[in-house]
């Protein structure tokens, strides 16, 4: 467990960022020329409670604990590894395709191949870079399905997508090594595991042997019980420690840096307060040095904020969460509503570049 953590703050974009980076009063975020940060938040775990301090980039060299944060600072400022031809210069959108009867938002809507393929075409047309196919619901309270049933649900759809859209990047949302292997055999490009390879002890070997990128989604518990009073000492720092330990294990077992993407797991074993804390300070995870994905789309925390005004689409709350994450340098978003999200990000990014 670390005792000191750093989070880039006062993040700036466009020509302003480029100017201040050149002038050395800002540092590059993720190795980008047009995204930088002007200051660092220093978070410490201490026996009598956590402390938070903030320093400008110009003050970093004078800090007496500079050596303790040097590695994390290098991670924050280093260029991220490309995924296929996606280089994180601009936002990357992952479109959700649940071929399930019971997913929390769109269960049963796309569990026929015709409707699924039509929806994929729409998402690609509206700007989806990746299509994430899932055959098992991981909503709170959902029960696990058999490997055979999960394979049956996703197999034909994945093959049809590959046939009709041969250049489309496809990720497979699964916790099971057998399903992962089958997906890879039929052309899946990325693996997305809501358990961060914890559910199935054989799954990390599939990632190692295949060389495929893996999205490590943090969750506390499993879908059946993950919302039963989730607790943390400090949700941000506990998740950071979890990822640091998980990544160390994976690298020691043959998985490469360029395969790893992290997702703090909005809604997976978190209360409303946990989710708000994660999104409001998600830039902390840049100091792990890997691409970060966030998936707030239609999640229940939005409904809790809206209370009696809640609606199933939760589009406004989803977009607000995505834009706030983007403002902190997050570049990969898993969403249901591709058209609206793409439009919001394109317009918002133009304001930031002024």
First-last CA distance in the chain? 41
**CA torsion through residues 199, 137, 215, 177, sign:** positive
Which is the catalytic residue, given 80, 176, 299, 314?
299
Q: Which residues pair with 37 in a beta bridge?
A: 11, 27
Instruction: Report which secondary-structure segment, H or E, holds 154.
Output: helix 147-164
Residues 294, 217 contacting (CB under 8 angstroms) = no
Q: Is 334 a catalytic residue?
A: yes
> Tokens representing 287?
């100091």
Which is the catalytic residue, given 143, 334, 346, 353?
334
Residues 190, 170 contacting (CB under 8 angstroms) = yes
| Residue 334, phi then psi, degrees to nearest 5 | -100, 115
From CA 72, how far away is CA 50, in angstroms rounded?
A: 19
Residues 193, 214 contacting (CB under 8 angstroms) = yes
| Residue 192, phi then psi, degrees to nearest 5 | -130, 105
Q: Is 246 helix (H, G, I), strand (E, B) or coil?
A: helix
For strands 51-56 and 92-98, give the pairing. unpaired
In order, the DSSP letters of 176-196 are -HHHHHHHHHTT--EEEETTT
> Tokens representing 203?
């799954």
Q: Is 175 a catalytic residue?
A: no
Q: Which residues are part of the catalytic machinery? A: 299, 334
């Amino acid at each position: 467990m670390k005792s000191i953590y750093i989070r880039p703050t006062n993040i700036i974009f466009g020509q302003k960022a480029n100017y201040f980076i050149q002038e050395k009063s800002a540092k590059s975020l993720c190795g980008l020329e047009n995204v930088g940060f002007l200051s660092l938040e220093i978070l410490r775990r201490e026996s009598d409670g956590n402390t938070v301090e903030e320093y400008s980039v110009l003050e970093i060299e004078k800090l007496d604990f500079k050596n303790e944060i040097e590695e994390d600072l290098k991670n924050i400022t280093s260029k991220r590894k490309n995924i296929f031809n996606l280089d994180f210069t601009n936002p990357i959108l992952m479109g959700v395709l649940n071929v399930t009867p019971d997913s929390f938002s769109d269960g049963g809507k796309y569990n026929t191949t015709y409707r699924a393929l039509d929806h994929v075409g729409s998402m690609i047309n509206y700007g989806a870079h990746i299509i994430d196919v899932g055959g098992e619901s991981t909503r709170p309270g959902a029960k696990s399905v058999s490997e055979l049933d999960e394979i049956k649900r996703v197999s034909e759809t994945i093959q049809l997508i590959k046939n009709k859209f041969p250049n489309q990047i496809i990720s497979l949302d699964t916790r099971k090594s057998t399903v992962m292997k089958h997906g890879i055999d039929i052309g899946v490009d990325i693996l997305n595991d809501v358990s961060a390879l914890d559910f199935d002890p054989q799954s990390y070997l599939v990632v190692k042997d295949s060389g495929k990128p893996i999205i490590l989604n943090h969750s506390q518990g499993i879908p059946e019980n993950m919302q039963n009073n989730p607790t943390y000492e400090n949700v941000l720092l506990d998740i950071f420690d979890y990822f640091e330990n998980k990544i160390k294990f994976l690298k020691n077992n043959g998985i490469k840096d360029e395969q790893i993407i992290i997702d703090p797991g909005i809604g997976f074993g978190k209360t409303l307060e946990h989710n708000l804390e994660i999104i409001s300070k998600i830039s902390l995870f840049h100091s792990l040095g890997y691409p970060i994905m966030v998936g707030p789309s239609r999640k229940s925390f939005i409904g809790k904020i809206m209370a009696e005004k809640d609606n199933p689409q939760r589009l406004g709350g989803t977009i607000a969460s995505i834009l706030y994450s983007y403002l902190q340098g997050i570049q990969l978003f898993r969403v249901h509503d591709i058209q609206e999200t793409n439009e919001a990000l394109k317009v918002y990014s133009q304001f930031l570049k002024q």
